A and B are shown apart, each in its own frame.
Chain A
Amino acid sequence: MPHGGILVAISLLLEQLLNALALAGLLFLVSAGLSLVFGILRVVNFAHGVFYMLGAYLGFTVVALTGWFWPALVIVPPVVGLVGAVLESSTLRFIYRRLPIYQLLLTFGLALILEESIRVLYGPTAKGVDPPPLLQGSIPLGAIVYPRYRLFLVVLGLVVGAAVWLFLKRTRTGLVIRAVAQNAEMADCLGADVARVRTLVFGAACALAGLGGVAAAPMTTAYLGMGIGVIVDAFVVVVIGGLGSIPGSMAGSLIVGAAQTWGAYYLPETAMVIMYAVMGAILIFRPWGLFGEEE
C-alpha cells in the first residue's frame, strides 16, 4: 500500500519535527539567558545551568506544597532570578574589570556551591514532577497522536522568545539594555545606571533558566547533574548561534534540537557526535557563530 507508506513517513516526520521543536524550546529558555548575560556583562555564566536545575527543584517543592503545577511556573522564575541578582551584586560586580578568565572561574565556583547546596537540601535521588491535568496525555494532531506536554513546550518556547525579543526592541528598558550591550561606557555617560542594568539582566537571565527548569521537570524529573548537561548543550547552541545574539540562540536551539532528535532516532549510539559534527562544520566557516560578531 504505497499511500499507507507515505502517510506513515509523513506522520513520523511530523512527530520528529515536534520533538525537535519541544527540545529547541527548552534549549532556547536556557541559552537565551546565557547569551543575554554575555551580551551585557561580557561574562560567560558557567553557573547558568545550575539555575536551570534550581528552577526544576524549586518547581518540585512548589508542586509538592500546593499540589498544582501552574503556580510553580509563576512563582519559581522570580525566585531563581532573585538568587541570581543577589549573587551577581555580591560577587561578580567586583571583578568586571579583570580578564574574562576570572569571571568565568568565579561563576564556576558559584556553580559548585549551588550544586552542592541543592544536594544537601534535596538529597541525591531524582524528584519527579507531575504535569498539570490539562497537559497530561496526548491529543490527536491530524495523522498522529502527540503528548500534550511537549506541545506546551513548543508554545512556551515561542511565546517566551517573542516576549524577550519584543521587550528588547519595543520597551525603554530594552533600549537601555541594548545601549549598554553596544557601549557600556557611553551608556554610562548618557545617564544609564550600568551597574543596575547588569544586575537586572543577570537576574532576568537566571529567571529564564529557572523557567526552563520548571518547564523541563515534568519531562526529565529534577535531578543532580541536569545543570551541567544543559549548560554543555547551551554552550553548543551559543557557539553555533553566536554569543550575545537572541536570534542566534533561537537558530542554535533549533539546529541542536534537530540534530539531537534525528540523531537519537537514526544513530542512537552516536547522537552526541552528530551535534558536535554540526558545530564543527559551522565553526570552520564562522568561528564566531551564525549571528555572532567577530571578536
Chain B
Amino acid sequence: MTRPRALALAAVVVLAVLPWVLVRYQLSILTDVLIFGLFALSLDLIMGYTGMVSFGHAAYFGLGAYGSALVLIHFGQPIPVALLAGALLAGVIAAPVGWFSTRATGIYFAMLTLAFAQLLYTVAYKWRDLTGGSDGIAGVPKTALFWGGPSLASPRAFYFVVAGAVVLSLVLCRALTRSPFGRALQAVRENERRFIALGRDPRPFKLVVFVIAAVFAGLAGALFAPFRGFASPEVMFWVLSGQGLMMVVVGGIGTLIGPIVGAMVFILVQEVLSSYTEHWMIFTGAIFVLMVIFLPGGLVGTARRLASRA
C-alpha cells in the first residue's frame, strides 16, 4: 500500500473511532471542524485548482443552511432530502451569479462574488416571511436517516452523517481534480491565455466548477443547520467567506485535504483563544497575516515540500 493511501485509511479509522473516545463537547467541535472543513474544501476547488478567488463563498453555505432548515421545519423530511435540497438551492443560485462573475477575471471576479454575496445576505435579512429576518430560523430538527428510519437526534449518530458526507465529498472532489475536467481547470489556473490559444474557451469550465463548489458549500451549510439547530443571516456574512479563505490558506491552497486541516487549526485556535479573550479575531488575524507572508504554501503544502525533500 502506498503511503498516501495508508494515511487516508488511517484517517478514516480515526474518524470512525473518535466518537467513542471523545466527550460530547469535543465531539461537537469535531463535527464543526468537518462541516467547515467541507466548506473550505469546496472553496479550494475554485481557488486552488482554478485560480479564482471568491470573496463571497459563504453565500452558498448560507443558502444550503436555509434550504435544509426550511425543508426540515416545514416538511419534516429525512436528513438526506434536506441535504439534497440545500445543496441544490446553492447550485441553482450559483449558476446565474457564476454566469455574471466568470465574465470577469482575477480581482474583478473576487469583487463581484463579494458584491453578489452581500446582495444575497441582504435578501436573507429582509425577506422576513421566509427567512425570519435577523432572527433566522430556529429549532431545526435532526430528523431521521430515511422515511421511518432511525433518528439522528443523538450527537454521535449525526456525527456519522457529517463524517460520511465529508469523506464522500472529499473522494468525489479528488476524483474531479484528477479527471480530464480537473486537468483542464488546472490548465486555466496555470495559463488562461495559453488555454484560449489552444482553442478552448475557459468560461464554461469556470462556470461549471463554480456551481460544483457552490453545491459542496451548500451541502456543508445543509449539514450545519440541523447540527446547530438554526440558520441565520450570519451564515451568509462576508466574515464567514473570509474565514473560509483563511482555512484554505492556512491548510494549503490546492491540496483539498489542506483546507480541512486549516479548518481544524482555525477552530481549535479559536476555541483556545476565545477562552482567554473575546477579541480573538485580532490574534487569528495576526496569525493569518504572518502565514500569508512567511508560509504561502500553508501547513499541508509546506509539509509535502519538506517530505519530498527528505
Contact = CB atoms under 8 A, between A and B. Distances in A.
Interface of A: 38, 44, 46, 91, 94-95, 98, 100-102, 104-106, 108-113, 115-117, 119-120, 228, 232, 235-236, 238-239, 243, 269, 272-273, 276, 279-280, 283-284, 287-288, 295
A113 B286 contact: yes
B105 interface: yes
B249 interface: yes
B159 interface: no
Contact of B296 (A38, A102, A269, A283): A102
B49 interface: no
B108 interface: yes
B134 interface: no
Contacts, number: 102
Contact of B115 (A100, A109, A110, A235): A235
25 contacts: A38-B107, A44-B110, A46-B55, A91-B293, A100-B106, A102-B292, A106-B293, A108-B245, A108-B288, A109-B289, A110-B289, A111-B285, A112-B242, A112-B281, A112-B282, A117-B282, A120-B279, A235-B111, A239-B115, A243-B107, A272-B119, A272-B122, A273-B119, A279-B115, A295-B105
B107 A44 contact: yes
Interface residues of B, number: 37
A112 B115 contact: no
Contacts of A108: 242, 245, 288
B118 A104 contact: no
Instruction: Give the interface centre of A46, A101, A284 by most chain B CB atoms within 10 Å.
Output: A101
Contact of A109 (B100, B119, B279, B292): B292
Given A91-B293, A120-B282, A236-B115, A109 B288 contact: yes
A238 B104 CA distance: 13
B110 A116 contact: no
A104 B282 contact: no
Given A287-B108, A295-B106, A105 B115 contact: no
Q: Which 5 A-B pairs rank lowest in CB-CB distance, beginning with the nearest?
A: A112-B285, A113-B285, A109-B289, A235-B111, A109-B288
Contacts of A112: 242, 281-282, 284-285, 288
Contact of A283 (B55, B104, B119, B292): B104
A44 B292 CA distance: 16
Instruction: Give the interface centre of A38, A100, A115, A287 by most chain B CB atoms within 10 Å.
Output: A287
Instruction: Give the interface centre of B119, B292, B293 by most chain A CB atoms within 10 Å.
Output: B292
A295 B111 CA distance: 15
Contact of B292 (A38, A106, A119, A239): A106
Contacts of A117: 282
B249 to A, nearest CB: 6
A235 B107 CA distance: 10
Interface residues of B, dominant DSSP: helix
B202 to A, nearest CB: 13
A100 B281 CA distance: 24
Contacts of A243: 107-108
B282 A116 contact: yes
Contacts of B39: none
B288 A104 contact: no
Nearest to B53: A101
A126 B285 CA distance: 23
Contacts of B122: 272
A106 B47 CA distance: 16
B110 A104 contact: yes
A213 B286 CA distance: 25
A116 B279 contact: yes
Interface in B265-310: 279, 281-282, 284-286, 288-289, 292-293, 296
A46 B245 CA distance: 13
B248 to A, nearest CB: 9
B291 to A, nearest CB: 9
A189 B282 CA distance: 40
Contacts of A46: 55
Contacts of A106: 289, 292-293
Nearest to A283: B103
Contact of A44 (B111, B119, B289): B111
Contacts of B55: 46, 104
Given A100-B106, A283-B100, 16 more contacts: A94-B293, A98-B296, A102-B292, A104-B107, A106-B292, A108-B242, A109-B285, A112-B242, A112-B282, A112-B285, A112-B288, A116-B282, A120-B279, A232-B115, A276-B115, A283-B104
Contact of A288 (B108, B110, B116, B245): B108
Instruction: Give the interface centre of A104, A243, A288 by most chain B CB atoms within 10 Å.
Output: A104
Nearest to A114: B285
A117 B110 CA distance: 26
Contacts of B107: 38, 44, 100, 104, 243
Nearest to B242: A108
A284 B112 CA distance: 13
Contact of A235 (B105, B114, B279, B284): B114
Nearest to A276: B119
Contacts of A272: 118-119, 122
Nearest to A273: B119
Contact of A239 (B112, B238, B249): B112
A135 B246 CA distance: 44
Contacts of A236: 111, 115
B24 interface: no
B285 A110 contact: yes
B126 interface: yes
